[in-house]
Structure 1
Amino acid sequence: MSGGAHGMDEHAPIFVISAAAELAGMHPQTLRQYDRLGLVEPQRTPGKSRRYSMRDVLQLREIAELSAAGVSLEGIRRILELENRVNVLARRVHELEGALADEMLNRPGRRVFAAGAEGDVISLKAGTRVRRSNAVVVWRPLGNGERH
Structure 2
Amino acid sequence: MKFRRRAGNVAREEVFLNLTSMIDVIFVLLLFFVVTTTFIRPAQMKVELPEAVSGTPPEATDQRQLEVAISADGSYALNGQPLAKSDLATLMAALQKESQGDSSLPLTISADGKATHQAVVTAMDAAGKLGFSQLRITTVEPQATP
TM-score bin, normalised by smaller chain: under 0.3
Structure number with higher strand proportion = 2
Structure number with higher helix proportion = 1
Q: Tell me the TM-score normalised to structure 1 length.
A: 0.19
State the structure with more CA Rg. Answer: 2
Q: Tell me the TM-score normalised to structure 2 length.
A: 0.19
Question: Greater RCO between the two (CA within 8 Å, min separation 6)?
Answer: 2
